[in-house]
Every structure is written in C-alpha cells, then in structure tokens.
Amino acid sequence: MSTQQVLDNKEPTIGKWVCQLLVAEGVIGVLGNLLVCFVILRVRFLHNMTNYLLVNLAVADMLLCLERIFSGLIYYKDCKIIDYVPKTFGGKVAFCRFMPSNFLSWALAYASAYNLCVITFERYVAIVHPLQYARKLTATRMKILIALIWMISFLFSLPFLFTIEASNNPDQACSEFKYPHPLFPFLVGIFTFLTAYLLPITLMSWAYYKIQVTLKRQAKALNLQHARAAAYDLVIARQRLVSMLTIVLGALIILWTSDYIGLFLCLITDRKGLLTLCNSVSYKYFSAICSFAYYFNSVINPIIYEFKYKKFRQGLKIALCSCYHQHNDNRVDIEMVPL
C-alpha cells in the first residue's frame, strides 16, 4: 500500500520507471486473476464451494490491481497520461474521496485478506469438523458471509475518506492531505495494522495449524488401520490443497509485512514527526518497493494455482484448448470433497 500518499502533501514523484513498473504489475494482475475466474467458472468439475471462494478472492485481487492501474495513469505525476480534473465540485469530491485518499485501495485490500480468511474457514470446517460441514456451510450462509466480508471491508476503510478534500482551484482536483484531528493518523495506523494485517494473519495461521495437525492424525490413523487406498488418497489430496493455500498465506505474509510495518511506523507520527526518514526521498523509493511487493501478492496467486493446484492445471487446459480431452482414469475427483 502506498504510504507516501498519506505522508506527503504533494503528488508522489517516485521515478517514471518505477511508476511504469507498478502499472505493468497491475495489468498482469488483472489478466491473471481474470484467467482464474474464467477457468473455474468455465470448467464444470471445478464448480464447488472452495473454488467459488477462490473466484471471489480473484475478483478482489483483480479489482485491487485495476485500481493500481488507474492510480498510476491518473494520479502519479511521473507516468500519468490523463490529467483528470472533474469539472464539477461534486465530481471533485467523489474523485478525491475515493481515489487519491486510498479509500478504494484499502477497501479492496481488506476484501482480499478477509476473502482468504473465508477460504481458510471453509477448509477448517471441512477437515477439522467434517460432520458439521453440510449443516454449517450452506450455500445461503456462505453467500451472506461473503456479502458481509465486502461490507466490512468498505466499512473499515471509511476513515481514509476524511484525509483529503476537493480543491477550490479549477485546475486542481484535490487539496492537500489534512487530518481532522492530530490523533487521527495515530488511531488509523493502529486500527489498520490490527484489522488489515495482524488479525487475518493470526486467524489463518491458527486455522492452518489446526488443519495440519488434523490431517497428520488422520493419515497416521489410516496407516495403522491399513485403510483402503481411496480413503488415504482423500487425505493426501486434502494435504496438497492445504499446502497450496498455505503457500498463498505465506506469500501474503512475506509480501505485506514490510509495507504494513512502514505504514504503522509512519502513520502514527505527524508530518514533522519523530521519524524523519518517513519524509525523506529514500523512504519514498523504499515505499515504492514495498508497494510493488504488496500488490504483487494479488499477482502471484494465479501463478501458485498453476504450479501447485493440479485440478486448476487440468481445468486450464480444458478451458483454453477446446481440442483437449481429459483422459478418464475412472478415479473419483476427491480433491475438493469436504468429508
């Protein structure tokens, strides 16, 4: 997440090549996540609860990357190709509140993290509490949960609407960043760090730990009982799926950590603040690198699916090549079976 927009009252100047790289990253992310949606919705054997949740995650990541493209082309001084200034004052208010304020960026970032939490929750119930899966995770309840996730994501991002206002200058869209109260950046920094980063990572890490413990116990029990190969294959398939989702979580932690630490340290100080580094040119480039890593998390998920998710690779071949015929080996598709 770009923190220099909050820390500096001027348009960010991070270098033309850096800005172009960020825009290119957004384009790749949009195309990759769009491909995930296309493959899962197109191929019938991928139509199940977990994959539908992956589509919802891909939509959040795709919108986040799309916002990155518009921010680069419209807002960043070094590579913007559209000098957009709304003609009406109401248009200026809407533009400034939603785009330069980073409201949309944060809302979509929340949605991405919390949708991954929903996927983790679905796998947790399916593996740790399989007998309760059908009763607890009905289609209606999951739709309500997804709707709540999106509502909460936009609700938690509301404070960023109050960081910038429309400009009275007819040639300028937005005024300088202003906080309604000196404690505002401190409270926003604490709240954002806890709710957008620490909370989802803690919940998902705990859930995956419980899932791994359960899967190891099931595999050990099946070995001791000399269970049928189909039952053991089910456990192995679940382990592979959880391994793929754990990699997704690990990528999120690695790619988000530096950006959130920088955000936490710099948002809690005022502009003259205790940390002079936050207002330096070096920090602007460091922030740009962190921002690239942050958005790369939304780009890398389709790549992880391609290398780690066998069913997605099969679906990709079917979706992209009409002449491809999957060889039927008479095995049951057990990779996503909840029980």
Distance of alpha carbon 36 from alpha carbon 269, whole angstroms: 40
Residue type, 213: V
**pLDDT range class, residue 34, cuts 50, 70, 90:** very high
For the chain, the average pLDDT equals: 78
Query: What pLDDT does residue 232 have?
Result: 61
Query: What pLDDT does residue 286 have?
Result: 79
Higher pLDDT, 29 or 175: 29
Question: Whole domain around residue 263: which residue ranges?
Answer: 4-320
Asked whether 169 and 130 are in contact (CB, 8 A), the reply is no
The answer to the question of residue 176 being in a domain is yes
* Most confident of the ranges 26-40, 60-74, 204-218, 304-318: 26-40
Query: What pLDDT does residue 53 have?
Result: 92
Asked whether 96 and 174 are in contact (CB, 8 A), the reply is yes
The answer to the question of residue 247 being in a domain is yes
Q: By three-state DSSP, how is residue 231 classified?
A: helix
The answer to the question of residue 249 being in a domain is yes
pLDDT in tens, 105-156: 899 999 999 999 999 999 899 888 888 888 888 989 999 999 999 999 999 9
The CATH number of residue 239's host domain is 1.20.1070.10
The answer to the question of residue 142 being in a domain is yes
The answer to the question of residue 132 being in a domain is yes
The answer to the question of residue 237 being in a domain is yes
Q: What is the rounded average pLDDT of the residues 202-210? A: 91
Number of separate domains in the chain: 1
pLDDT in tens, 254-282: 999 988 887 777 765 544 444 456 666 77
The answer to the question of residue 172 being in a domain is yes
Closest CA to 161 of 198, 90, 110, 106: 106
The answer to the question of residue 146 being in a domain is yes
Closest CA to 123 of 248, 293, 266: 248
Closest CA to 163 of 181, 151, 190, 150: 181
Is 11's pLDDT higher than 70? no
Q: What is the rounded average pLDDT of the residues 27-49? A: 91
